[in-house]
Amino acid sequence: MNSAAGVSWKRSTASKVVAQETVTTRAGTFDTFKIEVTCDFQSPKNPAKKFQEVLQTWYAPSIDHWVKQSSVTRADGRVRSKVTSELVDYGRR
């Protein structure tokens, strides 16, 4: 709920590990688990108003951190945003 704007959404979320992959970024090469999270949002006031966000995360247990993330948001059957981030540097303290 966004109380400042007076908007609320009903959210349904599902997460699963979909693959094991080796991912190379500027920070190095990592063995990862690819985790996919799907969030479906629907307006309680207007059930026809809905959107979906799919977040994919490549998590490397060896560094206990993600090395790549990708997010796609769709509304009305169209891609509204698409963002990808990658780890560019890594070091141990």
Q: What is the pLDDT of residues 41-92, one digit of tens each?
A: 888 887 778 889 999 999 999 999 999 999 999 988 899 999 999 999 987 7
Q: What is the pLDDT of residue 48?
A: 79
Place of tokens 């999270």: 37
φ/ψ bin of 68: left (φ > 0), alpha (ψ from -120 to 50), beta (otherwise):
beta
Q: What is the pLDDT of residue 4?
A: 66
pTM greater than 0.85 (yes/no)? no
Q: What is the pLDDT of residue 90?
A: 83
Burial (CB count within 10 angstroms: exposed 0-12, middle 13-18, buried 19+), residue 32: buried
d(CA 51, CA 76): 7
pLDDT at position 1 over 60: no
Q: What is the pLDDT of residue 6?
A: 66
